[in-house]
Amino acid sequence: MIPKKLEEGDTIAVIAPSNSVQEDDKQYLEKTEKLFNSKGINVKYGKNIYSNTLGYGATPDEKIEDINIAFKDKNIKAIFCVKGGENSNSLFEYLDYELIKNNPKIICGFSDSTSILNMIYQKTNLVTFHGPTYKSISSWETLYGFEEIVKRFMKGEKALKREDEVFETIKEGSSEGILLGGNLNCISRMTCGKYNLDFHDKILFIEDLGYESNPKFVNSFLYYMKQNDVFSKIKGLWIGNYEHESGISLEKIVTDIIKNEYKFPIIKSDNFGHTEKKQVIPIGSKVKIDTSHNEKIILSEECVN
């Protein structure tokens, strides 16, 4: 199930499923709103995005209220998570999956938003989008992320690579599957239990934030996934941005762990993750990896209509 494209005159909603908006975030929200307005898009903010009821953020009820209103409101055409954080997974049991299924629309975010983006896809089959949060659209130094939003959501472009970007082959091969993934920390916690993800026949994409997840943490996340048979189920692996002061790369940690035990291809790029280059990646769309081509991963179908 794919959502409709954004058009001039449409309205987007801004919600905070992770951390609340702080005073020093406001300048970026204002800048991002002006960018959307420049494309003829109106912005509506959830009433609870500033809430700090718990002393460490909004309650699940407050967060869910904004999400439900955004999906229910017929005038809202897309939903953007305002920023990252730590606990959007607290919303799994409260999300109204039937409401979402009956009101499909674009929902976009990254980092901690990984949790709800993948769970919404898992429960509803709605394609969701790993891309810039509302704040990050203007808090980074370039307009790369906003340009990608316009290309993907307004123009319906399918490319997962700009001409000037380099994709590396870590392990050769070709395969097809459905995109699933995002922040490694979040994904690793969704490998088993009541709210686990179905990794069968998926192309898994992963990234992480180096100053929060050092190489030992990343190693632990990946071993946990290996021990729960994730790598025996997936059809391919796409590694994104990871920068740590040690200089140890995410692809090194991955190859240290999986070595030659699996046949799937592995590619690497720096155009998604905690970086100003934030590609918009559709979770739930079919893709093909072929390491013999310059464009090593391509979308096999439309992700908006």
Tell me the domains of the chain and their CATH numbers.
11-154 (3.40.50.10740), 168-299 (3.50.30.60)
* Single pTM value for the model: 0.97
Give the model's pLDDT for residue 259: 81
pLDDT at 233 over 90: yes
Q: Hey, what are 228's tokens? A: 């729960």
pLDDT band at 294 (very low <50, low <70, confident <90, very high): confident
pLDDT at 212 over 90: yes
Helix (H, G, I), strand (E, B) or coil at 194: coil
Provide φ and ψ at 44, rounded to 5°. -125, 130
Give the model's pLDDT for residue 75: 97
Give the model's pLDDT for residue 141: 85
Q: Which among 209, 202, 214 is positioned nearest to 186, based on CA atoms?
A: 209
The total of other beta-carbon atoms located within 10 Å of residue 145's CB is 25
What's the rounded mean pLDDT across residues 216-222?
Answer: 98
Strand order in the sheet with 236-239: 168-171, 266-268, 236-239, 202-207, 174-183, 286-290, 297-299
Give the model's pLDDT for residue 59: 97
Q: What are the pLDDT digits (tens) for 92-145?
A: 999 999 999 999 999 999 999 999 999 999 999 999 999 999 999 999 989 999
Q: What are the pLDDT digits (tens) for 160-202?
A: 999 889 999 999 999 999 999 999 999 999 999 999 999 999 9
Q: What are the pLDDT digits (tens) for 239-282?
A: 999 999 999 999 999 999 988 899 999 999 999 999 989 999 99
Q: What are the pLDDT digits (tens) for 38-89?
A: 999 999 999 999 999 999 999 999 999 999 999 999 999 999 999 999 999 9
Average per-residue pLDDT for the chain: 96
